[in-house]
């Protein structure tokens, strides 16, 4: 099995469409999808994010980091939440992604999350990370 992150990206069109859906309806629709993932045993985590206007960006392009309050960027550059799935392949992650009940115009980015086993095991920092994950029950 491998971990895949499904990153929900909005567009101006999907944000407009979502504003017309009641919060209860959205919870019900996403709740049903979440139950499917849980029942299949593939869901590791899922979270939505607060609106961009309540966030900040830390820009490291200069000599010192610069913090800018939201909103920031174009809608298409933002993501609104994520799912972390444990599935055997990108193909299965794509199949689950295609079933996600997103608004018309939304986009879903899927990326594999590398395992700690894929990093150089002779690194002091990888060893410390592995030990921490073992202590906290993550490995």
- Domain coordinates in residue numbering, the chain: 2-108
Q: What is the pLDDT of residues 14-54, one digit of tens each?
A: 888 888 888 889 888 889 999 999 999 999 999 988 877 78
What H or E segment, with its residue span, contains residue 126?
Answer: helix 124-135
Q: What is the pLDDT of residues 96-107, one digit of tens each?
A: 999 998 877 788
Predicted pLDDT at 71: 67
Q: Is the dihedral of CA 96, 78, 80, 10 positive or negative?
A: negative
The band of 75, judged by pLDDT with boundaries at 50, 70 and 90, is low
What H or E segment, with its residue span, contains residue 31?
Answer: helix 23-40
Matching CATH number, 2-108, of 3.60.20.10, 3.40.50.970, 3.30.70.1060, 3.40.50.1820: 3.30.70.1060
């Amino acid at each position: 099995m491998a971990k895949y992150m499904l990153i929900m990206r909005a567009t101006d069109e999907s944000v407009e469409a979502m504003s017309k859906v009641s919060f209860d309806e959205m919870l019900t629709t996403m709740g049903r999808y979440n139950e499917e993932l849980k029942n299949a045993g593939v869901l590791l985590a899922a979270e939505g994010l607060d609106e961009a206007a309540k966030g900040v960006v830390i820009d490291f392009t200069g000599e010192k980091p610069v913090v800018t309050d939201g909103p920031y960027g174009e809608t298409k550059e933002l993501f609104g939440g994520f799912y972390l799935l444990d599935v055997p392949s990108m193909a299965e992650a794509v199949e689950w992604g295609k079933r996600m009940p997103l608004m018309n115009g939304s986009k879903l980015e899927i990326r594999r999350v590398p395992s700690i086993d894929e990093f150089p095991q002779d690194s002091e920092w990888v060893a410390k990370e592995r030990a921490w994950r073992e202590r906290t029950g993550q490995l």
